[in-house]
A and B are shown apart, each in its own frame.
Chain A
Amino acid sequence: MSLGFLHPLLLWGLAAAALPLLVHLFFRRRPRPTPFPALDFLFQARRENQRRLRLRKLLLFLARTFLLAAVALAIARPELLRPQEAAAAARGPAATAIVLDASASMTYRLGGRSLFERARQDALQALASLGNDEPATALVCGGGEAPRAEPAGFDKAAVRRVLEEAEPTALHADMSGCAAAAARALSESASASMLSQRLVLATDLTASAWRLDAAAPLVQTPRGAVRPEVTLLDAARGEPLPDLGVADLSVEPDPAAGPRGFRVTVAVANRGRAAAEDVPLQLRTGLAPAGPVALRAFVTVPPGGVVKKQLSLTLPAGGTTGLTVSLPGDALEYDDARALVVDVPREVRALLVDGAASPVKHRDAAFFAEAALASPASPVRPTVVDGESLSRTRFADHDVVLLLNVRSLGPKAEELRTFVEKGGGLFVAMGDQVDPDTYAEQLGGLLPRPLHVVKTAAEKGQPGAAERAARFATLDQAHPALSLFAGAAAEGITGARTYRYMLLRPARKGEGDQVLMAFDDGSPALVAARRGAGRVLLYTSTADREWSDWPIRTSFLPALQRFVSWLAGSLEERRTTSVPVGVPRALGAPEGKKVVAVVGPDGKERRPGSLAGAGPGGAAEVTPDRPGLWQVKVAEGGQERLDPSLAFAAVPDAREADTSRLEPSELTAWFGGQGHAHVAADAAPRSERPTPLWSLLLLAAVVLFLAEGLLLA
C-alpha cells in the first residue's frame, strides 16, 4: 500500500499550514491599553483558567494548522494504492512484458526528477504489483536496434535487476520496435501461452518514439495471434514538456571577416507554448569542454517556432578547433548545446618567382597573382622575387612556390625538387620565357606532364580573336581546389578566353596526374600531381594577361587562393566532422600514428578495450554515446597526445530533442482501442483502482473548521 498524488506540484500548498504559526509569531494584534478597576478578579480568573486557556489555544492552533494542511493535501489529490495481491487477484493473472523507455528525451527533468527515474519507479511498481502466478519479462528500450527480451518467466528478481540496472542513454528509442520485441518475448514464453498477455510501457509518450504507420504488436499464442492488453505509464503524468534547444549549427567561411572569418548559423527551437524572450546564447571556441566564450548573443523564439541566428566570428589561429553553442540549461539538457569541429585555414607562405618582371605593373607576370593572393580575405602571404634574387631565397622558408613565366631555375632546381618531395607545393605557370626543353631538364620529374609546344588559338588583338580564343570546357568540380566553382559558379571560369597555351606530352607511366581543367579542344589547362609528400599544379597558360584574360576575371582571385591552399595542404578534402550520437565513426589515424583512446565530452577516456577495431593498424571505430566534442588520442613515437585533426563532434538526435507528445487517444487507438489499451498517470494498473483520499481530507477540513468554531465560541 502506498500513497500517491495526482498533482504532486501542488504539495507546495502545504506551506500554507505554517500560516497560523507565522501569524502567531509576526502578526499578533497589539493589545489596546484598557483601564479597568476590577483587576484582582481578572488575575484570579486567569489563575484559575490558565491551563484551560492554554489547552484551548493549543487546540485552536492545531485545528487551524491541520485545516490548512488538509485543504492543501486535498488539492494535490492524494490516492491510496490498494494492496498488490488483492489488485492482482481482481484483474486475473497475465503474462507481462515491461518496456522501459531509456531514450535521451527521458532525461527531461520534471518536478526535480528525470522522467527516466519516474518511469523506472513506475515500471518497478508495475512489476511489484504482479502476482506470483504471473510470468514477467523486461526490456530496456534505448538506442539502436530493438533489443531482444528474455521470454517471460517467473524469476522476478532477474526482471527487477534489469530495470534497476538500466540507465538513460543519449540515443533514440524506437518504442514501436521495442513494443514488438516485448510482444515477441511473450510469444516465446511457454509459461505465458495459456494466460492473458499484457504489455506495460513506461515512457514519456514523445511522438518521435512511435511509428504509428507500422503494425501494432501481436502476441502469438497456441490460440492464434492476440492483441495484448497494453498499459501506458505516462512518466510526464499528462503534463506538456516545453523545451528550448539548439536545433542546428552550421558554419561557413565569411570572407568579409578575413581569412579565418566564419559565419556561424545557429537554429534555436522552442517546443513550448510560451515565447522565449531574450534567451542568452554563448559561442565557445576550442576543443576543451569549457573553452573561452567568443561571442554572446540573445534570441527570441516564438512558441513552437525555430529561429536562426547568424554570428560572425574570426578565429585567431589556424588549425582544427571546436565551436560550441549553448543555451541556459533547462529541463532537457540534451539539446541545450551543440558542437562542431571546424578546420581553420592556416597562413600559407607563398613565394612568387617572377620570371618576367616589368616596371609596368599590368605587364608584370607576378602582378595579378600577387594581387589575388594578397587580398584581405586570403590566407596566403605572398612574397615576390625575380629571377636574379632567386639565388638568395630559400624555398624551405615557404609553403608554396609559384614559378611564373620563369626561364630557368639553374642550380636552384635541385633545391626545388627536394622542397616538393618533403611536402612543399609547386605551381607552374607558362609564358614566353618558358622553354620546354629547359623545363624537361631541370624539372622533368616534378612536372605532372612534360611540356611540348605552345599553341596559339588566336592572335590577341586580331579581329575575331575573342571568338576563336580557347575556353575552359571541363572542370573537375569534385577536386577541393575547384569545388568552389560547382554549378553556376563555373561560369566565372568558363567565360575566360585563352589565346595561347602550352600543349603537354602524355604523362610517363607510373606518374599519376589528374587533369583538373581542360580547354574546349581537350588540351589540359590545369594538371595536378603528387610528388613525394608535396603537390604540383601545372597551369598551361600565363598568370598575366599575355596569353589569357583569366587573370582579370573575378574567378581568378578565389581560384588562385584555392590552388595555393591546396598545394600547401591546408585545403584538405572535405571531411565529415559531425556525426549523430549513436552512429559509429571510423577513426583513420594518420601514417605513423595509432589511435589509443578517445576522450568524450565528459572528459573521460575510452581506451582500446571499448574501441572497436583499434588494432595495430591504428584505425579504430567509436560510437559516441553522448553529444559534444570528442577528441582522439594517438600514439606517435612512443608519446601519446591528442590529435586535433581527428577530433569530431557528436550531435544530438533531432528526434529525441523533439519533446512533442502524442495524444493518448492516438496511441491507445494504435494498440487496438480503449478495450485493449489505456494510459495510466502512474504505475497503478487500471484494475488496481486507487482510493482517492481528497474527499476524506475535505471532510476532515470541514470537521476541523467546525471544531475551530466551537473552540472560538
Chain B
Amino acid sequence: MTATPLLSPELVARLATLKLRARAVAEGVLTGLHRSPHHGQSIEFAEHKEYAPGDEVRHIDWKAWGKTDKYYVKRYEQETNLRAWMVVDASGSMGYRGPGAALSKLEYGSTLAAALAYLLVRQQDAAGLVAVGPGVVRSVAPRAAASHLGALVDTLEALRPEGATRLSAAVDHVVEVAPRRAQVLFFTDLFDADPEILRRVAQLRRRKHEVTLFHLLDPAELDFPFEDPALFLSLEDDRQLEAHGREVKKGYLEVLGRWLETVRRQAAEADLDYVLCRTDRPLDEVLLPFLARRERRAA
C-alpha cells in the first residue's frame, strides 16, 4: 500500500473542520477492509456449522437436524455489535506542534480518531470517546447511529490541550463503563506522570478488550532539530531548562530511544497493538496498516 498524497498532514490541515478532515481521511482509505469479527445476534443467516461441545444449544437448527439427523448450529453475520472507545489524550503536551509539522499531536490524533469513528459508524459499529487530561475531561458513550458521528466530532473539535497527562483515569473510566468486550483505541504521546502507565493499560487487555496504542510523536520530538541555545519550556507545568540544543541533542536522542524501546517491549509483553505515529506522516499510512492488521486478526 502506498501513501496517498491527498492524506498528507499538510493537506489535511488545510481542511477547516475536523468533520471534513475525518471524512476525507475515511473516504481515502479502503473501507472494504472492515468486517465485523464478532458473531452474535443474527439478523442475516451466514452458514451452518456442525455442532461442537461449547456451542450454544439455542443456536441448533432443528430443521436441519430433522433433514439430516445431524446437529448443525446456525451462524449469522452481524455488523453492529463492535463497540469502540476512542481514548484521546488532551493534555498540554499534545498541543505541541514542532517546526516540521503541520498538525499538532492533538489535531493529528483527533483526526485519526474521527476518521476511525466515521469508518466504524458507517459499518454500523458503535464508537465512543473518552478525552483525558489530568482526569477524564469528556466522555461520549458509543453509538452506531450516523447522527452520533456529528456529536463525536464536535466533542473532539472542542478539545483544548491543557494540564498534565493521567491516562490511568481513562483506563479506570473505560473499565467502569465498558463491561463488555470492546475495542479501545488510545491516541496519546504517553508523556504520563506514571512511568508504569502501560501496565495500567494492560489491565484492559486482561479484561479481553482489544487495545490499540497510537503513539503520537512530533518530528521535533523524534529528531530534536534544535542547534542553538534555548530555554526549553514545559507545556504541562512551570518547569524550564536552559541548554544548548547542539550539546544536549545526542543525550536526548539516546534517552528517547531507550524509552521508545521500553514502550515497545512493554506493549508487546501486554499484547497491545502498538503503532508509532510521526505527525508529519500521511494519515493513511497509519490507518491502512492498522485496518489490514485488524482484518487479518478477524479472519
Interface, chain A (partner B; CB < 8 A): 28-46, 48-49, 53, 56
Is B274 interfacial (CB 8 A cutoff)? Answer: no
**Contacts A46-B241, A49-B251 given: A34-B230 contact, CB under 8 Å?**
yes
The answer to whether B248 touches A34, judged by C-beta atoms less than 8 angstroms apart, is no
Q: CB < 8 Å: which of B96, B247, B248 contacts A37? A: B96
Q: Are A37 and B231 in contact (CB under 8 A)?
A: no
* 11 extra A-B contacts, CB within 8 A, seeds A38-B252, A40-B191, A41-B252: A30-B229, A33-B230, A36-B235, A37-B189, A37-B235, A41-B256, A43-B241, A48-B251, A48-B255, A49-B251, A53-B247
- Residues in A with CB closer than 8 Å to B255 are 41, 44-45, 48
Establish whether residues B251 and A45, one from each chain, have CB atoms under 8 Å apart when the complex forms: yes
Contact present for A37 and B252 (CB under 8 Å): no
State which of B92, B93, B228, B234 has its C-beta within 8 Å of the C-beta of A29.
B228
In the complex, what residues of B have CB within 8 A of residue A41's CB? 252, 255-256, 259
How far is A28 from B189 in the complex, measured between Cα atoms in Å? 35
Q: Contact: B259 with A31, CB < 8 Å?
A: no
- B252 partner residues in chain A, CB cutoff 8 A: 38, 41-42, 45
Q: Is the pair B231, A45 in contact by a Cβ cutoff of 8 Å?
A: no
B243 at the interface (CB under 8 A from A): yes
Chain A residues closer than 8 Å to B176, beta-carbon distance = none
Pairwise interchain contact A39-B230, C-beta atoms closer than 8 A:
no
Q: Which residues of A contact B232 (CB under 8 A)?
A: 34-36, 39, 42
The distance in angstroms between the C-alpha atoms of A42 and B96, with both chains bound, is: 16
Cβ-defined contact, B233 with A46, below 8 A? no
Give residues in B with beta carbon < 8 Å to A. 92-93, 96, 189, 191, 218, 220-221, 226, 228-236, 239-243, 247-248, 250-252, 254-256, 259
Q: Are A38 and B191 in contact (CB under 8 A)?
A: yes
**A534 → B minimal CB distance (Å):** 99
**Majority DSSP secondary structure for residues of B touching A:** mixed
Q: Decide: A36 near B191, CB < 8 A? Known: A42-B252, A45-B252, A48-B255.
A: no
Let me know if B229 and A32 touch, CB within 8 A. Answer: yes
A45 vs B250: C-alpha distance in the bound complex, in angstroms? 8
Cα–Cα distance between A49 and B250 once the two chains are bound (Å): 9
Flag if B248 contacts A36 (CB, 8 Å). no
**Which chain A residues border B191 with CB–CB below 8 Å?**
37-38, 40
Bound Cα distance from A133 to B287, whole angstroms: 99
Which of A31, A33, A34, A39 has the most B CB atoms < 10 Å from its CB? A34
Known: A42-B243, A46-B243, A46-B248. A36 touches B233 (CB 8 A): yes
Q: Which 7 A-B pairs have the closest CB atoms?
A: A45-B251, A37-B93, A34-B230, A49-B251, A31-B229, A31-B231, A45-B252
B189 partner residues in chain A, CB cutoff 8 A = 37
Known contacts A31-B230, A41-B256; is-contact A36 B251 (Cβ 8 Å): no
Q: How far is the CA of A38 from the CA of B233 in the complex (A)?
A: 10
Nearest residue, chain A, Cβ from B92: A37
Q: Is the CB of B229 within 8 A of A29?
A: yes
Measured in the bound complex, the distance between the Cα atoms of B229 and A37 in whole Å is 17
Specify which chain B residues have a CB less than 8 angstroms from the CB of A37 in the assembled complex: 92-93, 96, 189, 191, 218, 221, 234-236
Name 23 interchain pairs, CB-CB below 8 A, sorted by A.
A29-B229, A32-B228, A32-B229, A32-B230, A32-B231, A33-B233, A34-B226, A35-B234, A35-B235, A36-B235, A37-B93, A37-B96, A37-B234, A38-B221, A38-B256, A39-B232, A39-B234, A39-B239, A41-B259, A42-B248, A43-B241, A46-B243, A49-B248
Q: How far is the CA of A41 from the CA of B239 in the complex (A)?
A: 13
Chain B, Cβ-Cβ closest to A47: B251
What residues of chain B lie closer than 8 Å to A39, measured between beta carbons? 232-234, 239-241
Please, which residue of chain A has its CB at the minimum distance from the CB of B221? A38
**Which residue of B is nearest A57, CB measured?**
B247
Which B residues lie within 8 Å of A28 (CB)?
229
The residue in A30, A31, A46, A48 that gathers the most chain B C-beta atoms within 10 A of its C-beta is A31
A36/B96 in contact, CB under 8 A: yes
Query: B92 contacts which chain A residues (CB < 8 A)?
Result: 37
Q: Which residues of B contact A32 (CB under 8 A)?
A: 228-231
Q: How far is the CA of A42 from the CA of B242 in the complex (A)?
A: 10
Among A32, A38, A40, A44, find the residue whose CB has the most chain B CB atoms closer than 10 A.
Answer: A38
- Shortest CB-to-CB span from B263 to chain A, Å, is 13
CB distance from B108 to the nearest CB of A (A): 14
Closest chain B CB from A611 CB (angstroms): 78
Instruction: Kindly state the separation between the CA atoms of A41 and B256 in the bound complex, as whole angstroms.
Output: 7
Minimum CB–CB distance from B162 to chain A (whole Å) comes to 13
A56: B residues at CB distance < 8 A: 247
Contacts of A53 in B (CB 8 A): 247-248
State the Cβ distance, B218 to closest chain A Cβ, in Å: 8
CA distance A34 to B96 in the complex (A): 11
Kindly list chain B residues whose C-beta atoms are within 8 Å of the C-beta of A30.
229
Residues of A within 8 A of B250 (CB): 49
